[in-house]
Structure 1
Amino acid sequence: MRWAPDARGRLERAAFELFAEQGFAATTVPQITARAGLTTRTFFRHFADKREVVFAGDEIPTTAARLIAEAPADVEPVEVIRRVLHQVAAARFDDNHAQTAAWRRIVESNDELRDRDARKRADLVRAARGAFVERGETPLQAAVLAELGVLVFQVALDTWAGAEPGSRSMSATIDEVLAALPLAARP
């Protein structure tokens, strides 16, 4: 069992089960590895600490920046935001409603995780801002667009995660949030 494939996935599933059952603070790395049937050493090959199970990697900021940079030059910036958020939603969230909802509940239940979530959002803003500058936006426009994109993403994520599973897609929720913006912010 110890050498079975998908060690990272097994550790993530075990951690989320334990976080949901007993809370983030009460869960230890040895408990996670025991549930996954792996060693503590294997855990630390994949994650720096148990927070990283919740916030592993920087793939969303990297992916978002790449998608912004790859968007056609003639597409309006707010439409770029919509397209990028749809792509991230389809790749990362649409098939994972239950896990995403559980993840949001875990984050919201712990001050340390909320702080880490805020830092990850700041990383996303920074990456998006740089990508918009590279597209030719002024630094001020890029900053506003990046903040707007992350705000839309966060509101859509929280709304979608809190909704009944299967009631709507993350992309439909993104469009709903964009439609709720004041007229001055619409394309």
Structure 2
Amino acid sequence: MGRWEPDARGRLVLAAVDLFTEQGYDATTVAQIAERAGVTKSTFFRHFPDKRELLVAGQEALSRLLTEGIAEAPDGASPLEAVAGGLVRASTAMGPANREFAPRMKAAIATSTELQERDALKSVSLAAAMTAALVARGVPDPTAALASELGVLAFKRAFAEWSEGDRGAEDEFAGYALAALDELRAASASLG
């Protein structure tokens, strides 16, 4: 093991996802993850309290970007326009590495009920952050909650389509997110 290599956190996440996919979540130990990432167990615990938390690496940054985009939406923007601003801001964190990593993460999540539950909690947390940002703009709570849930659903739909799309394409995540939000807006209008 080298004295120091950059991006220990990122290497830990990649190592964990690969091990979860190869041998299952329950059979994977923190020691194995640390070894695969080329770090010590103590380095692992400096970055994550347990192996389950590897799944939500970057969630705080994503929540922050979503809420910043909502907060910075122009005065008079509708709740969904503000959510669109959040999705565009969050898309700045979605680069080629995320696109390549997504299928492996999806496969790892599929191996474990615990990871599926943690993934669902991540969605709840993102919706709560967006709801709070909309309420801070003066949007009534039920409207803010509905717009936030549509935002999370748009993000998830866009991420699935973007990450499963042509890897050679130069298309940006923001376009997928805005298209998904527009589809959901139209679908909700047809509910009556």
For the criterion TM > 0.5, the same-fold answer is yes
Once the two structures are superposed, residues 11-64 of structure 1 have per-residue CA deviations (whole angstroms, 9 ceiling, x without a partner) of: 223223323333323221111111222211111111111111121252222331
What is the percent sequence identity of the aligned residues? 39
Cα distance in 1 for residues equivalent to 2:186 and 2:13: 42
Which sections of structure 1, spanning at least 5 residues, go unmatched?
Answer: none
Report the Cα offset of residue 94 of structure 1.
5.0
Q: Is the 8 A contact 1:86 1:171 kept in 2?
A: yes
Give the alignment's TM-score, normalised by structure 2: 0.84
Q: Is the 8 A contact 1:125 1:150 kept in 2?
A: yes
Report the Cα offset of residue 137 of structure 1.
0.8
Which of 101, 104, 111 aligns to 1:102? It is: 104
Q: Is the 8 A contact 2:94 2:173 kept in 1?
A: no
Which sections of structure 2, spanning at least 5 residues, go unmatched?
Answer: none
Indicate how the Cα distance of structure 1 residues 72 and 3 shifts in structure 2: closer, same or farther if over 3 A, else same. same
Stretch moving more, 157-166 or 127-136: 157-166
CA RMSD of aligned residues (A): 2.2
Indicate how the Cα distance of structure 1 residues 9 and 181 shifts in structure 2: closer, same or farther if over 3 A, else same. closer
2:131 maps to 129
Pairing 1:180–2:153 present = no
Report the Cα offset of residue 112 of structure 1.
0.7
2:67 maps to 65
Give the alignment's TM-score, normalised by structure 1: 0.86
Q: Is the 8 A contact 2:63 2:126 kept in 1?
A: yes
Once the two structures are superposed, residues 93-133 of structure 1 have per-residue CA deviations (whole angstroms, 9 ceiling, x without a partner) of: 45521112221221233211110111111111111111111
Instruction: Give aligned pairs, total.
Output: 186
